[in-house]
Amino acid sequence: MSNTRMDATLPLLEDQNGKGRYWRWIKVLDVAEAKGQVLFSLPMILTNAFYYLITLVSVMFAGHLGQLELAGAALGNSWCTVTGIAFMTGLSGALETLCGQGFGAKLYRTLGIHLQASCIISFLCSMIISISWLYTEPLLIFLGQDPQISKTAAIYLKYSIPGLFAFGFVQNILRFLQTQSVVMPLVLLSGIPMCIHVGVAYALVHKTALGFKGASLAASVSLWISAIVLVIYVIYSKKFKQTWEGFSSESLHHIPINLKLALPSAAMVCLEYWAFELLVLIAGMMPNAELTTSVIAICVNTQDIAYMCTSGLSATVSTRVSNELGAGNPDKAKHAMAMTLKLSVLLALLIVLSLGIGHDIWAGFFSDDLSIIKAFASMTPFLAISIALDAFQVVVSGVTRGCGWQNLAVIVNVATFYCIGMPIAAILGFKFKLYSKGLWIGLICGLSSQTCALLLIILRSKWTKMDLSEPQDDGKENSNLP
């Protein structure tokens, strides 16, 4: 084995002789790498925003029908996100590893096979989730929600079921394209369905007898339009001649390896989503629950929007790391990660500065109540810290997906959010009567612990590619665990 080969498998903190530890010194700013990552990130940010707006526009149309409809649509959409959208997004994370490293290793045919396997898994999981959605009303009532709002939310979810299947397929195709660095067309292919969605939602809500039901059905229709457009693009575009060779039964043999990464990927995403939703539920149990819940809800929505911006960097580093590892270039993968971390610091700084300057204006979009605006202002420093940490965290999470270390990330998320973050939040919120500040300090503790733990794993682990085999072989692949 050559010295270069030996160096490729050494942990990031060790030198070639295994003695001493150090960070490899690289240029403060690699302009070419930074430019490439920015041009990759921006289309992904816009694409994620367009899909987010599809569901948001449906809630807005429902909200104009009345207060009950707004409450039901908001609750239904929140439940849809927590139990469906987050899970489908996480499932597709397996393709960031498999397709990313396969593309880097020039095993182009495997990308189409893994895409099909992932779509099969998404379809089966969508069926299970859809069945659970049929029992939404009694479940929400059991969780203490208002019976009338729960009934309305259940109706909203019922007509969202078709869209869940489409969303799963959309996420898989997006990862398939993303790992091949085909991102610019995604802006158009997601933006057009979003624009069409406004017309579809207006027609179904106001021009048919569906009314409220038409709002969620419109989202389903628009998501299926997006899925069909993406499928047509993949099948007929010459860019994918090597990576898409048509449907094949060979994909069935690759379901097990896909599941080994897909389920932990889904758990990674869901555990973090659930932690934020849990904060809102805890806020509702506190004295002056209306004020505390409103402030925490604004903070959660602000964090979500900031995450949407930084998620583009997560997709970028995941693709760069997986491609370089697949090509056998761990040093380039580490360099790409270092560059993305620098960009995340700059992006977080911009968001935090904007929030610091305009926090009163921002809170005013959510409420005209001066007590809520004042309470949110006092939360701004804590929110700034969590946004900065999250910007760093999405990068290291992207690296774990690119390397195929999802199993370790799940353990980290459980330990940091639910054994550290949430207990601290409850103790500070109730015991020390810090209320909303205590809840958010607990979240910060969870985020900082998560980021440090994932970073430690990245620094101490050997960066090696997965043992990928061509589909025509025995269909067996080994997971890549550090």
Distance CA 339, CA 480 (A): 24
φ/ψ bin of 228: left (φ > 0), alpha (ψ from -120 to 50), beta (otherwise): alpha
Does residue 481 sit within a domain?
no
Does residue 60 sit within a domain?
yes
φ/ψ bin of 10: left (φ > 0), alpha (ψ from -120 to 50), beta (otherwise): beta
Instruction: Tell me the helices (H) and strands (E) count for the chain, helix number first.
Output: 18, 0
Q: How many domains does the chain have?
A: 1
Closest to 223 measured CA to CA, from 173, 284, 285: 173
Looking at residue 468, what is its pLDDT? Answer: 66
Task: Concatenate the DSSP letters of all residues of 144-195 into one string.
Answer: T--HHHHHHHHHHHHTTHHHHHHHHHHHHHHHHHHTTT--HHHHHHHHHHHH
Element (H, E) at 95: helix 93-104
Looking at residue 288, what is its pLDDT? Answer: 84
Structure tokens belonging to residue 2: 């050559």
Q: pTM of whole model > 0.85?
A: yes
Distance CA 82, CA 140 (A): 13
Distance CA 367, CA 336 (A): 42
Query: What is the 8-class DSSP label of residue 478?
Result: B
Element (H, E) at 97: helix 93-104
Q: What averages of pLDDT result for each successive group of 10 residues across the chain (482 residues)? A: 42 48 53 92 94 92 89 89 94 96 95 97 97 94 88 96 98 97 95 96 96 96 97 96 94 95 96 90 85 89 90 95 95 94 94 95 88 94 96 95 95 97 96 94 97 95 78 42 40
Distance CA 38, CA 28 (A): 16
Query: Residue 131 sits in which domain range?
Result: 31-460
Does residue 475 sit within a domain?
no
Structure tokens belonging to residue 174: 């997006």
Distance CA 166, CA 90 (A): 15
Looking at residue 370, what is its pLDDT? Answer: 92
Does residue 26 sit within a domain?
no
Structure tokens belonging to residue 145: 């929600």
- Other C-beta atoms lying within 10 Å of the C-beta of residue 45: 19
Does residue 467 sit within a domain?
no
Does residue 465 sit within a domain?
no
Does residue 117 sit within a domain?
yes
Does residue 478 sit within a domain?
no
